Chains A and B, each alone.
Chain A
Amino acid sequence: MNSKLPTIVKEFETQILQEWTKNQLSQMGSTDKISESELKSESQQFLNLFQISLQSGNTSVRQSKEWAPIRDYLSNLSRTRASQGFSPTETATFIFSLKKPLVARLRTEFEKSPAVLLEEVTASNELVDALGLYTTEAYQKGREELIGRQQEEMLELSTPVVKLWDGILALPMIGTLDSSRTQIVMESLLQKIVETESEIAIIDITGVPTVDTLVAQHLLKTVAAARLMGADCIISGIRPQIAQTIVHLAIDLGSIITKSSLADAFAVALDKRGLQVSSQRQKTALRGEVSAQPPLNH
C-alpha cells in the first residue's frame, strides 16, 4: 500500500508534536522524574527521526537500516528512563501516546474515504505498536544491565582474596554463586595465587547458601587449576546440611581437603607449611614464670 502517512507526518510535524506532548503531560500527571522542557525536546527529536525514517517507505521497524536511528534513539531513551526510575508502562507510554495524534490527523485527512482511512489507521497503529514493543524490550534490557552491574559490584565487594599468612590465601565467598560471577571470583583467586606465590588457598563457603552441581563444578575446576599452579586448596565452611546435600548429589570432592570451619582450615594450612601456633602464656607457664608476670591484656 502506498501510505500517505509519511507525507502527512512531514507536513503536520509541528501540530502532531504539540498534541503529542500535551497528551503525554496529561497522562503522566505531575512528575519530578522529568521536566516539561526535557519531555518536549525528547519528543521533538523522536518525531523528527520518525518522520525521516517514515519517508523511506520501509515499515520493518525492527530490522531495516532505515529505522536504525530510531532504534538507537529508543534504546538510549529506555535506558535513561530505566535509570531515572520510570516504570516500563510509563516508558512505553511515551510511544503509545503518539497513536492518538496520528489517528486524529489521518481522520481529518481521509474523512471522505473510510476504507482508506481504516487502512491508514491500521498501518499507523501497527507501526507505533512495533516501536512501543521495541521500547519495552529495550527498557527491560536496560534494567537487566543495571542489575547485572550492581550484582558485579556487590560481588567484587563481597569476595576479597585475603592473605592470612605468608603463602596462605583465603577466599571467603558470600552470596549466590552462579556461573558468570563464580567464574570471576575463581579467576581472581587464581590471579592472587600467582601474584603472592601462595602455596595454600582456603576457599570458605560459609556464606554460600546453596551448593549444587554447578557450584561444585566451579569449585572442582578452581582446585584443579590451582593445583596446576602449585597451590593446594582447602574448602572450609561446609555446614552439616551442605555436607548432606553434597552426599545426596553424589558429588565427589576427591582428594580435596575439606573442613567445617575456616579456623580448622587455617590450622591445617599452617601445619602444611611447617608452622605452629603456640600460646605465649603456656610457654611462660612452662618456664615457671607465670606468677612473676602481670596477666596479658589483649
Chain B
Amino acid sequence: MKKKLLATLLVATLAIASLAGCGKKSADGSGSPADTGSKNNATTETKAEGDLSFNITVWVPELAVDLTKSQIEAFNASNPDGINFTATVEAVSEADSATTMITDVESGADIFFFAQDQAARLIQSGGLSKLGIQAAESVSAANAAGVVSACMSGEDMYAYPLTADNGYFMYYDKSVVPEADIDSLEAIIADCEAAGRTFCMETDTSAWYIASFFFGTGCVSDWETDEDGAFISVNDTFNSDKGLIAAKGLYKLQTSPIHVSSSQGSEFDAAVPAAVVVTGTWDYNTVSDILGENMGVADLPCFAVDGASYHMGSYNGCKLLGVKPQSDAARSASLHKLAQYLVSEEAQMDRFNELAWGPANLNAQASDAVQANPGLAALLEQAPYSIPQGQIHGSWWDIAKVIGTDVGESDGSDEGLKAALQKYEDTISALFNMTSDEKEAMSVIGALCGTSWDTDFPMTRSAEIGAFYYSDVLELKAGDEFKCRMGASWDVNFGADGALDGPNVVVEEDGFYVIKLAVNDDKTEGIITLEKNSYVNGWTVIGVVAGSNWDADFEMAVQDDGTTYKSVDTFDMTAGTEFKVRQGHNWDVSYGDGTENFVVEADGTYTVVFDSTTGTITLE
C-alpha cells in the first residue's frame, strides 16, 4: 500500500512538473512566429523595423473558422505590402465576443466578429479602434447604408460591415397555412388552432421580437450616442396611442393558446410541431431539412386592430467586424488592411456561398445568387417594414422584454395595456436619470461662443469646496448672455442676481473668462462670477503674421512635455517677417530672438515652436 501510494504521488509530481514546463515554454516562446498560440502583445517588441509579420488572434463563429483561415491566407498571399499574419482563429460566437472582449480588452482578439447591438458597449470600453478617414469613406460607399450607420458612433466609424442579414421573418408549413392566409396574423393563428399546431415567436423573453408589433404601428425607439459611445438621449414612443394598438396586437398573440415563445427552427420537429416560426436565416437549413417541400418563407403578416391593419415590423440588424486598438502603429495599419480585405465584396460573397450569410456589400446584394436565396428574399420583402438597428442601450433589451409577459398577463383592457407600457416608459426614462453625478452636474448655457441657448458647456465641480463649480475658459463677447443650470434642464438654474430663475448674466467686455458658480446647500442660491483669464496656457504668437500687424494673438498649444508650445495654426511667412511670442496677451513677458523680434530667414510655411524653459523659438 505504502509503495503504491508513494509511486502515485511521485508520478503526480512528475506530471505537474512537466505540465508547468509546458506552460512556461509556450509563454516564453511567444516571440517565435511559428508559435501560433502565443500572446500577441509580447511579439511586437522583438520585431525588427519594417517587418510586417504579426501573430494575431481572430474570433469568428465556429462555422466561419475554416473560411476565415483561408481568407487570411489569401490576404497574406495577395497583399502588396508584405504583410504576413499568423492567425489563431478561435471559435467565439458573435453573441459572446463582445462580453468577453469587455472583460479584458488586452487579452481579447485583434479582429473579431460581433453583433451590432454590442457596438456601443465595445466603444465605451475601448475595444474598437477607429477607422481612418479613407477607409471609412470607401467602406461606407461600398456597403448598405443601414449597416454603415450601425458602425458609426457620433461622426466616427468604429467597425466594418460584415453581414446585413440579422433580421427575422416567417417560416411556415405550407400544408397548414395556405398561401392566401400568410398576410394576416389572425388567419394564421386560426389555421394553427384548426390544425393543432403552434405559432412560435419569442415574445416572452426577447425584446428583439416584441419590437415587431411596435414598429408595425409606427413607434420608434431611437437612441443617440456621442462619439465615445455613451448614450445621451432616447426618443421612445412605445408608450403612446400607436403603442397601445401594438400592445393590442401583441395581446392577441400572447393570449392565443397555440402561441409558443421560441425562436428555434427545430420547433417544427417538436412534440407539438409548429406551423409557424419567426426566426432568421441561421435556421434556414434546419427548417428546410424538417419541412422539405412544405417549407414556406414569407415576410411577417399584418395584424388587425379596430378595423385597421398593421404590417408587423422587424429589426434589421447586422454583424460587424471590429479591430482592437493596438499600441503598434504598423500592426494597427496592417490589421485594418486585413479587416478591409475581410469585408470586401469577394470575402462577403465567399461567406454567402459557404455559410449563406447575407452580404452587406451593395454589389454583392445585387448579385443574382444572393437575390435568389429564399431566406434573404424574405428578408428583402420584410425590409420596407424593418427598422435598421442602430445603437441601442444595453439595458433596453432587458427592460423591453417584459412588455411581452406584462401584456400577456394583463386583462387586455386599454388600462391594463397602458399600465404595462407606462411601466416600460418609466424604466426607460430612469436610465437617463440614474447617476446622481449627471443629475447634479452644472453647466453654462446661453448665447455665447456661437451657440444660441442650445449647447451646455460643462462646469467642473471643485474638489476642495463642496458646491463650487467652474467652467473651461470661454471666449465671450460683450453682450453675450448666459445662465447656469443643473442636469441640463431648467428645473434648477441661476442667473445674474444669484436667485433661482434669475435674469440672464450679460457680459460687459470681450475677453476670455472662466465662469464660476457657488451654490448653497439647498440649491436656492447660486452666485455667478466672471473671472477674466488669459489663454489657458498663456503663450501666443504676435507680429506681422497671417495678415495681422502686431495686433492679433495666435494661440499656441502646450505639448506633451509640458514646456514646449506649438502654434495652433501654421503661417505662410516670407523672409524678413518679424514676430515674437508673448505671455498673457501683454508685453510683460515676451521672447523673440533674445529680446529682439524673431526674424524669419527663408520663405516657407511654418509652425512656430517655443521652448518655455529656455525662451528659444524655432520654426518647423
**Bound pair (A, B):** no
